[in-house]
Amino acid sequence: MRKKIVAGNWKMNNDLVATNTLISELLKKEKTSNAEVMIAPTFVNLLEASKLLKDSSIIVAAQNMHFAENGAYTGEISATMLKSVGVNTVILGHSERREYFNEADNLLKLKVDKALEEEMKIIFCFGEKWEDRSVGNHFMVVESQIRNALFHLEDENWESIVLAYEPVWAIGTGQTASPEQAQEMHAFIRNLVKEHYNSAISEEVSILYGGSVKPENAKEIFGKNDVDGGLIGGAALNADNFIAIVNAF
Ligand code: PEP
């Protein structure tokens, strides 16, 4: 059975003190669902988060990484560096990376390959902009993002992949995709994986929804057949809200 996952993307929020505080609050909350829980703090606080969560079931993920082993890439972080601070999961392809840092499919493919070579797990994000959806191009855009960065992978690589559909128009805007829109796209994605690979892989891969998920709408979205969890931005910065979303399963 495929995994249910709720992952919090903290983005460029929370300094060291705030990281400590939020993690200790999360640890005090009662978790009533069996969803896997992840948080992705900023790079400089990953070591602290790893230490604080060493004995808990909460997984620490990074928000990005570079594709090279090491070298002259000022300001960048490698997979080996992440692993050295206890981080074995990485978010790749977030729309903010694509939009503000020009991360395109060919670069993301290199990052995916490096993460897999380093035996890391990947939350791979993709999603259409409003201008795509408004002219009916959303399926085409999502298909090409997935095809270009992931469809060269071998069957066994898919054990390390989690997909995250994040319509750009719903991220941080308060405007959530309707549960029906999310389900429609998730079913499309699962079918795409089935057609390119097989139904064993498509039925096993977790597909998360991201875009203004809150405690008030999580249950309805997570209730859809092909929605296996969420990638949460704003609401992940508050322990009550985040755990309420986790417990929506
Ligand atoms: C995100 O950044 O991945 C995200 C879904 O943000 P928000 O929940 O704030 O829309």
- The answer to whether residue 36 scores a pLDDT higher than 90 is yes
Q: Report how far ligand 1's centroid is from the alpha carbon of 71 (Å).
A: 32
Of 66, 94, 138, 186, catalytic: 94
What is the rounded end-to-end Cα distance, in angstroms, of the chain? Answer: 15
Q: Is residue 69 annotated as a catalytic residue, yes or no?
A: no
Res. 1 pLDDT band, cuts 50 70 90: confident
User: Topology of 5-246 in CATH?
Assistant: TIM Barrel (3.20.20)
Closest atom of ligand 1 to CA, residue 213: 8
Which amino acid belongs to residue 5?
I
Provide the β-strand partners of residue 210: 231
Q: What is the mean pLDDT of residues 48-72?
A: 97
Mean pLDDT within 115-126: 98
Q: Is 30 a catalytic residue?
A: no
d(CA 14, CA 8): 13
Contact 230, 213 (CB under 8 A): yes
Model-level pTM? 0.97
Ligand 1 pocket, Cβ-based, cut-off 6 angstroms: 9, 166, 171-172, 210-213, 231-235
pLDDT at residue 172 is higher than 90 = no
Catalytic annotation, pick one of 66, 96, 166, 186: 166
* 123-127, 147-151, 167-171, 223-227: least confidently modelled range: 167-171
User: Cα dihedral angle (146, 224, 210, 242), rounded to 10 degrees?
Assistant: -140
Query: Does position 109 have pLDDT exceeding 90, yes or no?
Result: yes
By most ligand atoms within 8 Å of CB, the mutation choice from 9, 38, 216 for ligand 1 is 9
The sign of the torsion formed by the CA atoms of 145, 149, 151, 154 equals negative
Number of alpha carbons in the 13 Å side-chain half-sphere of residue 175: 7
pLDDT exceeds 90 at position 175:
no
State the Cα–Cα distance between residues 49 and 153, nearest whole angstrom: 31
β-partners of residue 231 are 7, 210
